[in-house]
């Protein structure tokens, strides 16, 4: 049975985010399974793409210690309603619709089977404490609520306690793209031990923690730090780099998705020092699938992915001294490094997008069968 599916989010390419990656790869996986998948998102400066409908105007602002997007225009509700009526989708799959955003409008005007995925873990105030008073009826309109992790479920469920609606289906990765075999970044191969950071340069991603740890270890081991990503704090972080480390820390900026796997393969260690607000951590799986050992902060979401001293190593959130010790341990203990690399590679295969797409497809078919039964 071929379905006509709409995926909806304010965040989508070219805006770099986990939701953008999730929606893109889930759509590809569902298309491979024979379905017609469209994407509804905001208008970014991008070329016209097949099956992508762009509406309104995109605004970015700081929330939850991160940069987020919001789509707005005065005629946006009419534009969304008209599009949904013309296309007549079997399934409308929104991403984070419990806010005054584009996914909310799609859910509001939907006459289809309604599925939502919730990606958010809050850094500080839990918005759902407020949202439950405004969006309760719209949550009831959902036929299924998918959470990408137990952490995402724990954030949402106490405020919308409709247990029969929930499913936990994790994020996925493209294991054909992220794997140990393939090209590397030539200019970095001359360095002995290469540490990689991939992520937006914003407060909750914790980059200064890694910078402080690198200040401790740089003269103890022959190492460099490679920083991939942009963000609102990029210039501030560049100014924080001491003069004696200017030639050992490389800010690479935004890297196109097709080039990112080469950065993982090039490096000997991936570190994510995030401070919170993470529901899962796709970057952790990308590193594992690329055959790179992972060190990550011990926070909810991340510790669902990293099993300490098995497929990765955890350190106390914000503790740059402990992080430096763990980096030195990985460098000195090659046997441990190889064990973590192998276990991570094996673990990552469980999250291939083909497997995740199959799980989401089963949810769609279950809901459609139920709809026709009644």
Architecture of domain 186-350: 3-Layer(aba) Sandwich (3.40)
CATH class for the region spanning 4-172+352-373: alpha beta
The 3-state DSSP class for residue 286 equals helix
The 3-state DSSP class for residue 363 equals helix
Per-residue model confidence as pLDDT tens digits over 225-275:
999 999 999 999 999 999 999 999 999 999 998 999 999 999 999 999 999
Percentage of the chain beyond pLDDT 70 is: 97
Give long-range contacts, CB 8 A cutoff, 24+ apart: 358-362.
358/29, 358/33, 359/169, 360/26, 360/29, 360/30, 360/93, 360/115, 360/146, 360/169, 361/30, 361/33, 361/35
> Cα–Cα distance between 208 and 273 in angstroms, integer?
8
Query: Can you give the pLDDT at residue 65?
Result: 55
| Two structure tokens written together for 300 | 């909810």
Query: Can you give the pLDDT at residue 126?
Result: 83
Query: Can you give the pLDDT at residue 325?
Result: 98
> 231: phi > 0 → left, psi -120 to 50 → alpha, else beta; which?
left
Q: How far apart are the first and last CA of the chain?
A: 19
User: If pLDDT is split at 50, 70 and 90, which confidence band does 70 have?
Assistant: confident
Query: Can you give the pLDDT at residue 279?
Result: 84
Identify the H or E element spanning 159: none
Least confident of 29-33, 43-47, 163-167: 43-47
Average pLDDT of span 56-61: 84
**Higher local confidence (pLDDT), 238 or 49:** 238
Query: Can you give the pLDDT at residue 63?
Result: 60
Per-residue model confidence as pLDDT tens digits over 290-312:
999 999 999 999 999 999 999 99
Per-residue model confidence as pLDDT tens digits over 122-134:
766 788 999 999 9
Average pLDDT of span 63-81: 83
Check whether 61 has a pLDDT greater than 80: no
Per-residue model confidence as pLDDT tens digits over 8-19:
999 998 887 888
Average pLDDT of span 35-42: 97
Please, are residues 197 and 210 in contact by the beta-carbon 8 Å criterion? yes
User: If pLDDT is split at 50, 70 and 90, which confidence band does 66 have?
Assistant: low
User: If pLDDT is split at 50, 70 and 90, which confidence band does 315 have?
Assistant: very high
User: If pLDDT is split at 50, 70 and 90, which confidence band does 59 have?
Assistant: confident
> Cα–Cα distance between 170 and 14 in angstroms, integer?
23
Query: Can you give the pLDDT at residue 62?
Result: 66
Helices marked H in 66-123: 76-87, 102-109
> Cα–Cα distance between 96 and 83 in angstroms, integer?
20
Q: Give Cβ neighbours of residue 162 (< 8 Å, ≥ 6 apart).
A: 139, 140, 145
Please, are residues 301 and 151 in contact by the beta-carbon 8 Å criterion? yes
| Two structure tokens written together for 353 | 């997008």
> Cα–Cα distance between 42 and 111 in angstroms, integer?
21
| Annotated domain spans of the chain | 4-172+352-373, 186-350
Query: Can you give the pLDDT at residue 209?
Result: 98
Per-residue model confidence as pLDDT tens digits over 138-173:
999 999 999 999 999 999 999 999 999 999 999 999
């Amino acid at each position: 049975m071929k379905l006509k599916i709409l995926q909806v989010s304010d965040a989508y390419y070219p805006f770099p985010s986990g939701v953008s990656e999730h929606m893109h790869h889930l759509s590809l996986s569902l298309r491979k399974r024979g379905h017609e998948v469209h994407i509804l998102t905001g208008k970014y400066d991008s070329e016209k793409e097949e099956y992508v409908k762009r509406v309104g105007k995109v605004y970015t602002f700081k929330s939850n210690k991160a940069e987020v997007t919001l789509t707005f225009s005065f005629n946006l509700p009419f534009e969304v309603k008209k599009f949904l009526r013309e296309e007549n989708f079997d399934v409308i799959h929104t991403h984070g619709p419990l806010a005054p955003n584009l996914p909310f409008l799609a859910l509001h005007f939907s006459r289809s089977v309604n599925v939502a995925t919730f990606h958010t873990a809050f850094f500080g105030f839990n918005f759902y404490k407020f949202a439950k008073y405004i969006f309760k009826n719209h949550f009831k309109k959902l036929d299924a609520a998918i959470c990408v992790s137990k952490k995402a479920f724990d954030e949402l469920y106490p405020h919308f306690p409709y247990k029969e609606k929930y499913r936990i289906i994790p994020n996925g990765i493209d294991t054909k793209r992220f794997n140990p075999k393939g090209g590397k970044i030539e200019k970095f191969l001359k360095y002995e031990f290469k540490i990689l950071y991939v992520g937006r340069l914003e407060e909750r991603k914790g980059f200064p923690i890694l910078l402080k740890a690198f200040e401790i270890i740089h003269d103890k081991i022959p190492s460099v730090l490679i920083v991939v990503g942009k963000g609102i704090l990029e210039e501030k972080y560049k100014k924080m780099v001491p003069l004696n480390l200017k030639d050992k820390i490389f800010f690479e900026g935004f890297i196109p998705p097709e080039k990112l796997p080469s950065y993982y393969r090039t490096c000997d260690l991936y570190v994510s020092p995030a401070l919170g607000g993470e529901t899962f951590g796709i970057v952790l799986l990308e590193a594992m699938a690329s055959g790179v050992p992972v060190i990550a902060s011990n926070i909810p979401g991340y510790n669902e992915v990293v099993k300490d001293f098995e497929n990765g190593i955890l350190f106390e959130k914000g503790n740059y001294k402990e992080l430096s010790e763990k980096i030195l341990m990985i460098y000195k203990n090659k046997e441990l490094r190889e064990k973590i690399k192998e276990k991570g590679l094996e673990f990552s295969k469980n999250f291939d997008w083909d497997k995740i797409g199959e799980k989401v497809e089963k949810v769609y078919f279950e809901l459609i069968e139920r709809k026709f039964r009644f």
